[in-house]
Structure 1
């Protein structure tokens, strides 16, 4: 039998090197995302302690949708810092660019939230929220003016650290954030200082400020080690050059974040909108916990990519996404999701049942997210950021068409939202894959 058995081929040195690098770079980032996802779980648990929590669960969907959309210009500072943060000169230029964006998102948040006609238009007209839900959401958003700015500061500093391969402290930073959120949220709720979503909004702001401060401190040694200049690259990045690189990423993110807007609108147009919104928010919070592990993949691919590594990086992304999808299917099969919705989040029975249905329909999102992360990473490494924008536009069109048709047919809205989101991810994945394979003739990535 030994003569007939084939020896397993030894892994190439390149494969071993890439695997070791992935372990060093990716897993601390994945752990950071995983910790951050617990912020939402804690928020839903706190909301579950409040009376009439169905309104607050629905309102949290509005808080999250508006805050994240306003934050979108600073989200991709992580990719910008990772790709371009190679020298002290570039670091200084990226810092100035970051401060401009931080100011912009803070002003935008204040204009939207503290101008009643604008807020009413956004929350009730665009998102279709009932007045009582919009009012509940406002109290959360009112305590979050600097939330986006803090996110921007820590993400660009994290990008510099990822570029240098120093990802370990990033996980600790997110743990600081979760602990700060838990302590402040419980203190505000127990003391009775605040009520409703004001507790969530202020605790979110305190938490992200604590994380930004921690990342600012631990990134200083990394920045001090940056070389003054890089003779192989052009160090003088103008604001227009930074904008040319960054804004296609931002535009794609902003468009991507209109997906929750479209789904929220669809949930409000169907029957029993408050129950539908509450169920979708409860389900999405737990789905987010699983999906976030894949969100660290683009930066890992960017940091480790070089010609010849495509196969190894792609295989790793598939293993991560596929493993999470299988885990979600098992969680639903054993009704662990339903237990969380009923026993921990204290959701009403109908809300919990519909949330479990939505959870099942979202099970394949992690696998799709992981595959998209691979293509986003390699495209960004080649500075082909516009492809991500085109992919999002096409995916949004597919999402809007699916939601419109589903509402006309009368599909249960939480099922419709999950199915439409999954289909749009498939369309986006196909578009990114086509863009990458068409660009393979390009030269090696530059930094």
Structure 2
């Protein structure tokens, strides 16, 4: 795409292109608190919140094969041939992810996993099983929506992506408020239905809004696009490292939760980590959204690599400073005690972890730009290696701090997370500099 008239790329052009994507991620960050607040106000809140936590974790892991379709479509779709081939590839991944849910619904698979491995009570397992049925359309809707979003981003329609997220939030919230008023469904089922309706509505809205972009792609021949021909083998070689990356990345949170439960002050640590994470995520979300923007704007010949990189650096510093403004000032108490409702004791446990995470928003922008460069270079295996090394960094750092030095679990977890992120950044910097 030509991001600006005359091929000139300024910070203003980048901001206008990227800001709708950032808004999309921030809006998605609001889903979790809204669903949790809804379930907490329904009968048997404790059981249903626990059930929702488990089944949502399963849903996130099941969508791992399709989560990178947006990145793939942004990078690869240039003409009708690449669009049709990647669309068929996406349909195959969507079918595979749906089959994974179906497999989990088989009692011979579900019961050993939930009742055996996780050792959950029967009443919780029954609620999870029902919720899993509701999530059946979830992975395919996510995969199709992310593929379409990639086509839209490649065509410069980032504002329409944000509009689709508004449809998602409105339909999700409407379902969350309507079902309890007219049914006596379990809270976890209400949560599953709300999230599933939201992603399905967004997928339909995205397809409607992408009509122009798809028409333009279908009208472009491979000769006109100048892109190299793609085979399904080439798509697979490009994509599987990205899918593996998402799977490795998604395993970080449950792994740290498991570790923290076996470290010093586990209850206090488990109580404050979600609150610290939610604040950090609000500032990290902008960086997470930058990867697709960087892929679309840098150019196939890397002609805009420098301005895109400079913008990432400035935004990384800005989001880091904004986060620091909260955790280094009296706003810390306002957020953690007044807004989040932590007691002064728990707020004390949150202070050091919150301070440790100050560099993370900036590192996130750096990682997004590095990953975009690797995608454009077709070196997606480097992204997988960086993510794996980051995970290994966590596996090394946490035991030393928590079990060797006796640190509080929450503090050890965030230091390990920061260490893992730095390892990932440094590895990609080394690869990029070659």
> TM-score, normalising length from structure 2?
0.87
> Is 1:259 equivalent to 2:252 in the alignment?
yes
2:153 and 2:357 map into 1 onto residues whose CA distance is 30
User: Would the alpha carbon gap of residues 15 and 230 (structure 1) be closer, same or farther in structure 2, given more than 3 Å must change?
Assistant: closer
Superposed CA offset, 1:169-214 (max 9, x none)? 0010011111111111122344453233222222111111111110
Structure 1 regions of 5+ residues with no counterpart? 1-12, 439-447
2:128 and 2:350 map into 1 onto residues whose CA distance is 20
1:70 and 1:260 map into 2 onto residues whose CA distance is 15
Residue correspondence of structure 1 range 284-323 to structure 2 within 5 A: 284-306=277-299, 307-323=302-318
Shift of 1:343: 5.8
User: Would the alpha carbon gap of residues 344 and 251 (structure 1) be closer, same or farther in structure 2, given more than 3 Å must change?
Assistant: same
CA contact 1:40–1:285 (8 Å) conserved in 2: no
Q: Which residue of 2 aligns with 1:187?
A: 178
CA contact 2:370–2:432 (8 Å) conserved in 1: yes
Q: 2:136 aligns with which of 140, 145, 151?
A: 145
Which stretch of the first structure deviates more once superposed, 141-150 or 333-342? 333-342
CA contact 1:90–1:235 (8 Å) conserved in 2: no
Structure 2 regions of 5+ residues with no counterpart? none
Shift of 1:255: 1.3
1:112 and 1:358 map into 2 onto residues whose CA distance is 36
Q: Which residue of 2 aligns with 1:424?
A: 420
CA contact 1:229–1:235 (8 Å) conserved in 2: no
2:265 and 2:43 map into 1 onto residues whose CA distance is 20
Residue correspondence of structure 1 range 148-163 to structure 2 within 5 A: 148-163=139-154
User: Would the alpha carbon gap of residues 137 and 292 (structure 1) be closer, same or farther in structure 2, given more than 3 Å must change?
Assistant: farther
Which stretch of the first structure deviates more once superposed, 166-175 or 41-50? 41-50
1:304 and 1:221 map into 2 onto residues whose CA distance is 20
Q: 1:207 aligns with which of 181, 198, 211?
A: 198
User: Would the alpha carbon gap of residues 247 and 183 (structure 1) be closer, same or farther in structure 2, given more than 3 Å must change?
Assistant: same
User: Would the alpha carbon gap of residues 388 and 133 (structure 1) be closer, same or farther in structure 2, given more than 3 Å must change?
Assistant: farther
Shift of 1:160: 0.7
Shift of 1:412: 1.9
1:183 and 1:270 map into 2 onto residues whose CA distance is 41
Which stretch of the first structure deviates more once superposed, 78-87 or 279-288? 279-288
Superposed CA offset, 1:225-250 (max 9, x none)? 12331216466533222111111111
Superposed CA offset, 1:327-361 (max 9, x none)? 22222345656655666666777666645654443
Which stretch of the first structure deviates more once superposed, 199-208 or 303-312? 303-312
> Is 1:32 equivalent to 2:24 in the alignment?
yes
Q: 1:90 aligns with which of 54, 60, 82?
A: 82
2:277 and 2:234 map into 1 onto residues whose CA distance is 37
Q: Which residue of 2 aligns with 1:4?
A: none
User: Would the alpha carbon gap of residues 44 and 222 (structure 1) be closer, same or farther in structure 2, given more than 3 Å must change?
Assistant: same
Aligned length: 424
Q: 1:239 aligns with which of 213, 232, 235?
A: 232
Residue correspondence of structure 1 range 276-425 to structure 2 within 5 A: 276-306=269-299, 307-334=302-329, 354=349, 358-409=353-404, 410-425=406-421
CA contact 2:62–2:100 (8 Å) conserved in 1: yes
User: Would the alpha carbon gap of residues 111 and 280 (structure 1) be closer, same or farther in structure 2, given more than 3 Å must change?
Assistant: farther
Q: Which residue of 2 aligns with 1:445?
A: none
Which stretch of the first structure deviates more once superposed, 49-58 or 408-417? 49-58
1:234 and 1:310 map into 2 onto residues whose CA distance is 19
Shift of 1:55: 6.1
Shift of 1:64: 4.1
1:335 and 1:116 map into 2 onto residues whose CA distance is 54
CA contact 1:48–1:345 (8 Å) conserved in 2: no
> TM-score, normalising length from structure 1?
0.84
Shift of 1:58: 5.7
Which stretch of the first structure deviates more once superposed, 183-192 or 213-222? 183-192
User: Would the alpha carbon gap of residues 389 and 140 (structure 1) be closer, same or farther in structure 2, given more than 3 Å must change?
Assistant: same
| Coordinate RMSD, CA, aligned | 3.1
Which stretch of the first structure deviates more once superposed, 77-86 or 255-264? 255-264
Q: Which residue of 1 aligns with 2:262?
A: 269
